[in-house]
Amino acid sequence: MGDYMSGSEEDYYYSSDQESIDRFENEDSETQWAPPKAPSCKVITKDSLLDAQREDLLRVMDLMSVREHHARTLLIHYRWDVEKLIAVYVEKGKACMFAEAGVTLVGAVDHDLPESLSTVMCDICIDDVPVSDVSKMDCGHCFCNDCWTKHFIVKINEGQSKQIRCMAHKCIAICDEAVVRKLVSKRHPDLADKFDRFLFESYIEDNKMVKWCPSIPHCGNALRVENDEFCEVECSCGSQFCFSCLSEAHSPCSCLMWKLWTKKCRDESETVNWITVHTKPCPRCHKPVEKNGGCNLVSCICGQAFCWLCGGATDRDHTWSNIANHSCGRYKEDGKKKAEHAKKYLYRYMHYHNRYKAHTDSFQQESRLRETIKEKVLNLETRDSKFRDFSWVTNGLYRLFRSRRILSYSYPFAFYMFGDDLFNNEMTAKERQIKQNLFEDQQQQLESNIEKLSIFIEEPFDTYSEEEVIQTRMQVINLSVIIDNLCKKMYDCIENDLLGSLQFSRHNIAPYLSKGIERAVEPTIGGSTKAGCNNNCQEADDQDNA
């Protein structure tokens, strides 16, 4: 088994076997999947959504001394980012912040109409209506309930119900949600329900730190991150995804890189093999040309004739035995330059795609090892051995899964990082080559050690003698530590030496976590928060659950 370990990797080994075991087992013990003391990702279910929303509302209500609908208006305006709201409050002051969000200061407007008036003229329909049929908003504008209701219905149907503005000309004040709900429910109860649902879901739809789980079928959960939106998370349903773009977890690719790569794979991967086998590029227009006859003189749709054997441009004259004024029996450097230029991009894509696909396939094959590993561990546990802890097997398996996934996605990253699609003006050719060599060296080291770990994990170690099991255990533990360090080095290189040095572009990637993608936990909401939930919130919850 020692043959699998090369001397060039001594730098990654620890001074003793016990040091390696202690470090790795402390890092990846049976409690490795337990959430940290302060989890940065929380699950928000339908039941806890109201509590999470209410928690932010109460915080703003207490801080700003405002009513609930004013707090909601402020939070929607600042996309439910309480910290940003507080920063604007400190920087610009309360009055400026309220004006920008369309909130009228409490107490600035007299909401009561004069008692001496029995009717009031509505400036919208120009009718005199009883005072009892008139509603006045916080901004002071007063219109009849019929006009208000029609205005609200139009806005709700247009999908603008989260922030319905006053009807008055150039007034940006947000209407009181209680008034909206009261007037609309009298004429269209279904639209009132829709209005409540929009307010209810705005906590997720308008909140950059909270997003729905993209699982199919939908699990009904949303996830909330506390620190950075550029991260990868795992929902309680088991779905792992990139929180920023909601696609599958794709680190170390940036979201833009992954979007371009998946589109390119959909558009090209199915045809790449066929094009390579059945066509050759035209030496004039570089389009792929298919040969549909036995003659080696072929013609492109652009009118250019060329030799199928060598790809060189020719005249159209030919005999049964040869093409006029053409011989491809001799090797000529000049005739291949244009054809090679046309092939270069395709071959480069094939290089990265084939390796990406190979490691993706390996990951899928290795995922089937779970049951096999369970059987091997059971066989080892039934034996009379002084070793009773076989967590090194499952730890090594999970390390293999995580690192294989990272290695797979490192190829799309390299395709765009060192190509001309995204960063053509960011690096000189010499700088690009130096950085590419640095990255590929790390990539090859990681690939080599992952393959070694895969071999040891797949071995029938449950049939080995106790001494051989100990040796396998040491190899798996050491390789796991090596791979973890190599992954850290690769991410450090990407974040600092590659993406960090860009001047005209900004690409963010999810950070590397030794223990894998963080699993979200259910938030703990205080009892006072739940008790403070008002009837409107409860009604919205009931409607959503229905």
User: What residues are annotated to the active site?
Assistant: 295
Task: Quote the CA–CA distance of 74 and 58 in Å, as a whole number.
Answer: 12
One-letter amino acid for residue 223 of the chain: L
What sign results for the dihedral spanned by CA atoms 76, 77, 81, 83?
negative
DSSP line for 52-84: HHHHHHHHHHHHHT--HHHHHHHHHHTTT-HHH
Dist. CA 369–CA 292, nearest whole Å:
47
Is the CB of residue 494 less than 8 Å from the CB of residue 442?
A: no
- Residues in the chain, total: 546
234 - beta bridge partners?
240, 519
Cβ atoms of 498 and 417 within 8 Å: the answer is yes
Cα(first)–Cα(last) distance of the chain, in Å?
A: 61
Question: How many Å separate Cα 83 from the centre of its chain?
Answer: 23
Q: Which two tokens stand for residue 448?
A: 């080599």
Distance of CA 48 to the CA centre of its chain: 23
Here the tokens at position 507 are 């690409």
Instruction: Judge contact between 304 and 283, C-beta under 8 A.
Output: yes
Write down the residue that tokens 């609908």 correspond to: 69
Tokens standing for residue 496: 């600092």
Q: How far is CA 214 from CA 45, 209, 327, 446, in A?
A: 14, 15, 60, 31
Residue type, 103: V
Residue 160: name the closest of 186, 104, 103, 199 by CA. 199
Residue 12 per-residue DSSP state: G
Can you list the alpha helix ranges (DSSP code H) found in 231-336? 255-264, 270-278
3-state per-residue secondary structure call for 322-380: CECCCCCCCCCCHHHHHHHHHHHHHHHHHHHHHHHHHHHHHHHHHCCHHHHHHHHHHHH
| 461 neighbors 468 (Cβ within 8 angstroms) | yes
Q: Hey, is 224 helix, strand or coil?
A: strand
